[in-house]
Chains A and B, each alone.
Chain A
């Protein structure tokens, strides 16, 4: 583990350095508060710090205050080294944001024990961050397939539609449904059904680029969003995605299954900026058409032909309700 030592006295610095190296730390030693901050602000910088109270440039408490004003970075456990250890000094040091203080000259054993306390705190923080990240993942992903869940897809899609509108690009939305999936569940059981969904998720993911996204929209419904997709190629790519399901059997515990998917496709560039819900409704109608047309095919949602824009008409007068 990395540890920072900031002490302007070369003798104390060397002594600390060696003591901590012996204890297995990777030591970074600096001689003033300014250098200490530079190290602590580094990405992947030390998260344990021993700071001498009296130092040129910035003293120990000033370093603590500066570090504590930055909330975005990982927690840094800071120990102040003081020579007096009076009550007033202790209070002032802890108030400045230090986690602990040690009186110089230090006892090596006590120093190591106090640093172990710091390591425990840091470990605790790491676990909390990890738990939070896990929760975040679970809140935005489907448990079975690990694809984005419906809520996450809607959020991302809304953002993407705004962006493609702003940049005058087009986003392709594919809403796909596994054909006769109910039959799989009914005849083979839910476990095989789950295997099928997982394999389909993998195939869909494998057939898009890294900046596209794939989500589980509902039971056996999947959504694929092709960001910044040239409308001339969108249908061809949608066809490829359809074929990635139908071109080979899905292997399950109960043998291979030939499966197909039907898709509704929508090119946002043809629609202008519309609410996500509205576009999804349109693409859902297209999916229904694909089902009606015999399944294992695509249907595109096209806006009804609009007459060329007439000259501006006066706005209808609206009654105001208060």
Chain B
């Protein structure tokens, strides 16, 4: 792989990557974003409760699901945060779980506006 990553100013969402994956099908891209906008917050809420309850099994499963949808979407940084959370939960590390969830929330916070901006931009 010779993906050149610009670590500085790397966007939360690599929309070109996704566009390539959908063969430049704008309609499909919008559809995927709509699925994401519906599934992501719901899964995040479930994960939050699992983390709060120190339910490691569910936390691992849910963060795995999040990792999958985030990487499919092309949101590498958020996917990495979800992946860390999955690893911690699988390893049975209860203590750092909340902090890792915070990191994921933080990534999500920068990702969602980018998605919204794109959706609005496409609409106009």
Contact = CB atoms under 8 A, between A and B. Distances in A.
A19 B83 CA distance: 25
B22 interface: yes
A243 B46 CA distance: 83
A204 to B, nearest CB: 61
A52 B67 CA distance: 13
Task: Give chain B's interface secondary structure class.
Answer: helix
Interface in B96-121: none
Interface residues of A, number: 18
B69 A9 contact: yes
Interface in B59-86: 61, 64-65, 67-69, 71-74, 83
A11 B21 contact: no
B68 A83 contact: yes
Given A10-B39, A15-B32, A22-B23, 16 more contacts: A8-B65, A9-B39, A9-B68, A9-B69, A10-B69, A11-B36, A11-B68, A11-B69, A12-B69, A14-B28, A14-B32, A15-B21, A15-B72, A19-B22, A83-B67, A83-B83
What 4 pairs across the A-B complex have the smallest Cβ distances?
Answer: A11-B69, A9-B68, A12-B72, A105-B71
Interface of A: 7-12, 14-15, 18-19, 22, 52, 54, 83, 104-105, 107-108
Interface of B: 21-23, 25, 28, 31-32, 35-36, 39, 61, 64-65, 67-69, 71-74, 83
